[in-house]
Amino acid sequence: MNFPAMNNGRQTPAMETAADSSSSAFSFISKGWREVRDSADADLRLMKDRANSFKNIAASFDREIENLIYSATPTFTVPPIRQSSEIEFMKKLHPKMSEFRRVYSAPEISRKVMEKCGPRANLGIELSRIRSTIAAEVFGTVEEDMKGIIEFNKVRSEKLNEEGQFGEWEPIRVLKTRFREFEKKNSTVEIFAGFKKNEFVEKVKSSLKAICKEPQESKEVPPLDVPELLAVLVRQSGPFLDQFGIRRNLCDKIVENLCSKRKNQLVLRSLVAGEPPAVDPDKISDELDLRIASVLQSTGHCSERGGSWTDFMKPDVTDGKRHVAIVTTASLPWMTGTAVNPLFRAAYLAKSAKQKVTLLVPWLCRSDQELVYPNNLTFGSPEEQENYIRNWLEESVGFKADFRISFYPGKFSRERRSIIPAGDTSQFIPSKNADIAILEEPEHLNWYHHGKRWTDKFNHVVGIVHTNYLEYIKREKNGALQAFFVKHINNLVTRAHCHRVLRLSAATQDMPKSVICNVHGVNPKFLKIGEKVAAERELGQQAFSKGAYFLGKMVWAKGYKELIDLLAKHKNDLNGFKLDVYGNGEDAHEVQSTAKRLDLNLNFQKGRDHADDSLQGYKVFINPSVSDVLCTATAEALAMGKFVVCADHPSNEFFSSFPNCLTYKTPEDFVAKVKEALANEPQPLTPEQRYNLSWEAATKRFIEYSELDRILNNEYSATTIRKSNGKAIARSVSMPTLSEMVDGGIAFAHYCLTGNEFLRLCTGAIPGTRDYGRQHCKDLHLLPPQVESPIYGW
């Protein structure tokens, strides 16, 4: 290398400039290379630390397995069979653990990692080649490292694809296999080392699961979009839009267009299944229901009924039997239809043993008992009256009925001649038993009901209409106006508090959600009397020795007015005809004086049981009443094999199919039917006719027409959506239909009105019946209403 000549030991200015530039360049390159070297050292230290941490994790896992094995060691002598099994298992397990340590804690791992990243570069510097090689040296190394990283990731991806989304380490897979073999081999031994069967294996499995957790799939359900929400709104508003002339098919078209996405999915599903791509609107509606239900379930919504209109605490049926509560407005010893028929219904429903039955009857204070119960019969306690009821029932049906009898406070109204509930009647059925309710006379029970809505507390509510109140009210002063208001009040309260309404005959007013069916039978003792009469006639004996009679409560509305009018008009045509009349009642004196004044051949007797021996000899039962809904006395007379002469009226439609029932349309026809009955002998009942009059047949009809067969058999209800794969999902009723919203509004308005004492008195309620009184608290052992419900609103 040639250097420039020196002049007296001094450098020229050009030489000084060249030396300074060379020194600056070398200093800059050295500084840059030191930074590269320090960065490489830091990266290598980080890789080494990660390798050591991996080795520590492997050692820690080994210690956890060994601690788990040692913790399962028994403190007492293990049976030889089990001990040998454990030793064999551990012999197979320890080589795998050793292999795991050897493979993952060996120093080759660090060396392989170092080799992958390349050896530490030689830091010798050659200044003559620094300019030409610095870029290639640095960028070449980076490019090689990047290629190595890409190749590593590629191999790792292929490995994951072979083993699934999250593969398992080979030693852990082998461990799981050994554990399965160990579990199968020792499954016949019940106890091992003080643990229950397979508890040791389960602990090992749980430890492995804790180490290798697999992520769960996301099960989020997308929310409803705007077209779906609009489709739900249009479909729910169908009844409202119908009032404006928008027909149902147009609403279905709108819903179908809004659910075009769902429609396309159904068409695609049909094409895949090889079916024609026709889409049923009902399928679109079902798919929309499933979509709504899925969204609600994904939000955690699980209440059966919610919102402002319904109750949040509906009971669940956890035991094998359903609970049926029968609520009525009268009780024995008052021998009225609403006292006798619900009692028989409870007995025969309980007889099937498919459901638990509770009969809820009114409890009257002693002062009211003296006004209602016959022969001055009174009871000092509910238990005493319950014994009377059960004894009477057992004598009538011939078997011991297993059901519960409960009492609610009631007061007798002299003006209405009926019992009015006091307080909230629904509270006397415990919430755990509030499953199915049968309201005998639902309109009567709810006229002044100020309490929880029946359909909110019970899963299914059935109302049975017994009495034609409109017919009675029309006979009073200003009866037409009163009947108009009562008719609409009856419709509103039954609509708000019932899911289903049964009318015993068409003689009652037409009510919402109603169907006509006779769900009453006759006392079994009347059928036995009929069988006895048929047997006597077969032997040639005379079964009937007397003529005609009439039996009923002696009030004008029970047919006495019609009877006296017919006999007075045709007194000459029925010359020599004598009629015996049995009954007690408020109008007895007036009825008897009228018959005496018209010189009618009527023989009045005190009221008695229809099965009394003194009544069995009569051949003809006359019942001209048109105020009854379904006359029980008529059914009893037919069951005993007698002739029945009654009016051609909707209340007698069920009986008209019996050959011994003679119906008349005109007064002249009445005379002809009476003469026909007196001149002939009644036909014996066939087995089918006898069965149709029985309570077994009546109970079967009741279960069918009230839809209890579906409820008791736990079939899908109207609030259930059935999926195509056979599964079912509960439809949330957080979205009430327009009809349900109206019913809820009616119930709320009724609750507000009945909560005001002034409005109650204006509509004819008994004072103090919004809550029960002190005497009821004492008799029924109740807390005062101020304590039971300290805050009362309207």
What secondary structure, in 3-state letters, does 193-210 show?
Answer: CCECCCHHHHHHHHHHHH
Q: Which of 417, 357, 356, 409 has the alpha carbon at shortest distance from 382?
A: 409
Confidence of residue 174 (pLDDT cuts 50, 70, 90): low
> Residue 219: is its pLDDT beyond 70?
no
Whole-number pLDDT of residue 512: 87
> Residue 303: is its pLDDT beyond 70?
no
Q: Mean pLDDT across the stretch 284-313? A: 58
Whole-number pLDDT of residue 793: 39
Q: Mean pLDDT across the stretch 410-419? A: 88
8 A C-beta contact, residue 420 and residue 411: yes
- More confident: 713 or 164: 713
Relative to beta strand 436-440, strand 322-327 is parallel
- Which of these CATH numbers, 3.30.1490, 3.40.50, 1.20.5, 1.10.3470, describes 322-520+737-780? 3.40.50
> Residue 720: is its pLDDT beyond 80?
no
Question: What percent of the chain has a predicted confidence (pLDDT) above 70?
Answer: 64
Q: What is the spatial distance between Cα 650 and Cα 648, in angstroms, rounded to a whole number? A: 7
- More confident: 69 or 60: 60
- More confident: 338 or 248: 338
Q: Mean pLDDT across the stretch 491-518? A: 91
Q: Which of 495, 512, 500, 509 has the alpha carbon at shortest distance from 750?
A: 495
- More confident: 191 or 511: 511
* Domains 322-520+737-780 and 524-693 equal at CATH topology level: yes
Whole-number pLDDT of residue 5: 42
Whole-number pLDDT of residue 295: 74
Confidence of residue 274 (pLDDT cuts 50, 70, 90): low
Q: Mean pLDDT across the stretch 755-769? A: 87
- More confident: 772 or 82: 772
Relative to beta strand 418-421, strand 404-413 is antiparallel
For 141-150, 245-254, 272-281, 698-707, which range has the lowest pLDDT when averaged over its residues? 141-150
Q: 621 has which bridge partners?
A: 549, 644
8 A C-beta contact, residue 744 and residue 310: yes
Whole-number pLDDT of residue 270: 58
Question: What percent of the chain has a predicted confidence (pLDDT) above 90?
Answer: 23
- More confident: 129 or 470: 470
Separation in Å, CA 438 to CA 269, 360, 449, 653, 706: 46, 10, 16, 24, 10
Whole-number pLDDT of residue 201: 56
Q: Distance from first CA to last CA of the chain, Å, rounded? A: 116
- Which of these CATH numbers, 3.40.50.2000, 3.90.420.10, 3.40.309.10, 3.10.270.10, describes 524-693? 3.40.50.2000
Confidence of residue 82 (pLDDT cuts 50, 70, 90): very low
CB neighbour list of residue 239: distance below 8 Å, 6 or more residues apart: 737, 738, 739
Q: 322 has which bridge partners?
A: 355
168 torsion bin: left (phi>0), alpha (psi -120 to 50), beta (else):
beta
Confidence of residue 128 (pLDDT cuts 50, 70, 90): very low
8 A C-beta contact, residue 15 and residue 4: yes
Whole-number pLDDT of residue 503: 92
Amino acid of residue 172: I
φ and ψ at residue 489, rounded to 5 degrees: -65, -40
Whole-number pLDDT of residue 299: 61
> Residue 659: is its pLDDT beyond 80?
yes
Whole-number pLDDT of residue 197: 46
- More confident: 575 or 670: 670
Most confident of 109-113, 208-212, 549-553: 549-553
Whole-number pLDDT of residue 363: 94
- More confident: 610 or 78: 610
- More confident: 728 or 560: 560
Nearest 10 degrees: Cα torsion 88, 89, 90, 91 = 50
> Domain coordinates of the chain in residue numbers?
223-272, 322-520+737-780, 524-693
CA 195, distance to chain mean position in Å, is 42
- The radius of gyration of the chain's CA atoms, rounded to the nearest angstrom, is 46
Complete DSSP assignment for 98-144: HHHHHHHHSTHHHHHHHHHH-PPPP----HHHHHHHHHHHHHHHHHH
Q: Mean pLDDT across the stretch 511-515? A: 89
Q: What is the mean pLDDT of the chain?
A: 75
Whole-number pLDDT of residue 708: 84
Whole-number pLDDT of residue 698: 93
Q: Mean pLDDT across the stretch 227-252? A: 76
Whole-number pLDDT of residue 29: 63
- More confident: 77 or 418: 418
Complete DSSP assignment for 721-763: EE-TTS-EEEPPTTS--HHHHHHHHHHHHHHHHHT-HHHHHHT
> Residue 305: is its pLDDT beyond 70?
no
What is the Cβ-side half-sphere exposure of residue 122, based on CA atoms within 13 angstroms?
3
8 A C-beta contact, residue 44 and residue 117: yes
pTM over 0.85: no
- More confident: 26 or 76: 26
